[in-house]
Amino acid sequence: MKTLILSALAIASVSNAIAQDSTQTGAAAATSPFAVSAYVESYYLQDFAKNDSHTMPGFIYNHNRTGEVNINLAFLKGSFTGDRVRANLALAAGTYMNANYAAEPGVLKNVFEANAGVKISKNHNLWLDAGIMPSHIGFESAIGKDNWALTRSLVAENTPYFETGLKLGFTSQDSKWYLAAVYLNGWQRIQRVDGNTMPAFGTQVTYKPNAAVTLNYSTFIGSDKPDSTRQMRYYHNIYGVFQLSEKWGLTTGFDIGSEQKSKRSSTYNTVYVPVMILRFSPSSRIHIAARGEYYHDRKGVIISTDHEEGFRTLGTSLNIDYQITPQVMWRIEVRHLDRQDVSKSSTYMTTALTFALN
């Protein structure tokens, strides 16, 4: 932790120093290409069932500690954005990092983002980025304030939040289309699984016909197992975000994935996940969101269970957000998960306070 803190302070001090120098020496520049941002999300989660371990079920990776005040995610980020070059470095801590980076070695457990990119076309918005980047899959991110619901949807919790590799991304001149192809170390991996020599691949197509509509289709192809037990996984992520009016918004998504039953098998196990979030904003400071979701994974493609019917869960939630200041948001959510695989349901209440400095 001492190393993390010192490194984070170094990011801030170096970025500020270079930014100040750039401002002083480049009077013609309107803004500095350097920027520093920070984010902190504290939370308290109450499990209404008895839970002596203070831990949420294993398929929950955000806000996964119960009955205690904790930090889900806190990071300090330094960025550089130039005409032909860009870079990001963010170091982080929190229960999100503990859960999602558990398989990574050493200091990599605290690297939230570390990437650099170069614009490879003079006349087109075509970039090649390399390093640890946000995932190209899903409509929810690890940064809570950017999501409509306080807790993450089951589909977000069980698809990658980050990825490591190369990404070739193109944005059309009118900004309506974004196309990307990615070469990855695996399914939410920084370091590749031991014994795995096969890279993974993915694609993304995003279409924004206007400011009120976003349509997205992302894919993943690869294996997250050693070569000796390789099972190919094919995953499709489809969603749409619609601003129906000034006060109403709707997000709908449907994910479906399949994985080989065994290395040489020609048959596949399937997982599918529909989700819908409806948001009402009576004012610029208050947002109310209701979510419905269903996760169906009978053969343990993503979430394994000993139950003969596999993992099947129906979830609902309702949350209210209040933007106290431009930097600070208070959130509260009630969530109900009906787990058919263990024939029981659970109800949780979560409250969070977020601070964001951009």
Could you tell me the residue ranges of all domains in the chain? 2-24+32-357
- For residue 77, give Cα distances in angstroms to 15, 42, 99, 111, 214: 10, 18, 20, 10, 27
State the pLDDT confidence band at 31, using cuts at 50, 70 and 90. confident
Whole-angstrom distance, CA of residue 201 vs CA of residue 196: 14
Query: How many CB atoms are closer than 10 A to CB 273?
Result: 23
pLDDT tens-place string over residues 60-70: 999 999 999 99
Q: Say which residue the tokens 């050493």 belong to.
A: 106
User: What is the arithmetic mean of pLDDT over 249-273?
Assistant: 95
- The residue count for the chain: 358
- Looking at the predicted structure, is the pLDDT value of residue 5 above 50? no
User: Quick one: 2-24+32-357 is in which CATH superfamily?
Assistant: Porin (2.40.160.10)
pTM of the full predicted structure? Answer: 0.89
Query: According to the model, what pLDDT value does residue 307 have?
Result: 86
- For residue 136, give Cα distances in angstroms to 35, 166, 227: 23, 12, 25
SS3 sequence of 313-334: EEEEEEEEEEECCCCEEEEEEE
- Looking at the predicted structure, is the pLDDT value of residue 16 above 90? no
Query: According to the model, what pLDDT value does residue 30 have?
Result: 57
User: What is the arithmetic mean of pLDDT over 162-182?
Assistant: 98
Closest CA to 252 of 237, 266, 264: 237
- Looking at the predicted structure, is the pLDDT value of residue 10 above 90? no
Torsion angle of the four alpha carbons 207, 274, 335, 39, in this order, in degrees rounded to the nearest 10: -30
- For residue 304, give Cα distances in angstroms to 231, 300, 329, 347: 15, 4, 35, 22
